Amino acid sequence: MATFNRATLAKVLEILDSNNAGEALAAAKLASSMVREAGLSWDDVLAPEIEPRAEAQAPGTGRPPGTGPFGYRRERELSAYEQFFMVLLSPRTPADIKRKLRGWEGRVLDGDITPQESQDLRFMYQSFVA
């Protein structure tokens, strides 16, 4: 089973209570992606204990080969809002970066970030999440 963290999922699900509909929708999509990419169903997640499935793990990572943080598979590029929320929720992201990102939130959810901001977001994702 890919790395799956209930605490991170819980933080993402707390965003569902947001007054901003776009933010809540992005959180729902991210939560669904986290579950799917970890090879789980919502029934698995809601079970008292998540039972790991027998899978090979990449040496030294504790993750199956080809998977990234939060169990995401590396076969696809993460969307800007997925990167945004992962950077925002990462405990490794400094507080000043999180404050800066809050100003981007509406534009990221609307898909209106500039190419430079998109590049900066990828860099932050690589620095604080991956």
The total number of structural domains in the chain stands at 2
Verify that 62 and 83 share a domain, yes or no.
no
Average pLDDT over residues 41-60: 66
Q: Are residues 101 and 128 in the same domain?
A: yes
Integer CA distances (angstroms), 87 to 16, 54, 97, in order: 18, 29, 9
Q: Residues 92, 68: one domain?
A: no
Do residues 54 and 107 both lie within one domain?
no
- Neighbouring C-beta atoms of residue 2, cutoff 10 Å: 23
Domain housing 71: 1-76
Mutual angle of helices 115-128 and 95-102, in 10-degree steps: 150
The answer to whether residues 65 and 83 belong to one domain is: no
Q: Answer yes or no: are the C-beta atoms of 37 and 73 closer than 8 Å.
A: yes
The answer on 63 and 6 residing in a single domain is: yes
On the question of pLDDT at 69 being above 70, the answer is no
Task: Assign 57 a pLDDT band (cuts: 50, 70, 90).
Answer: low
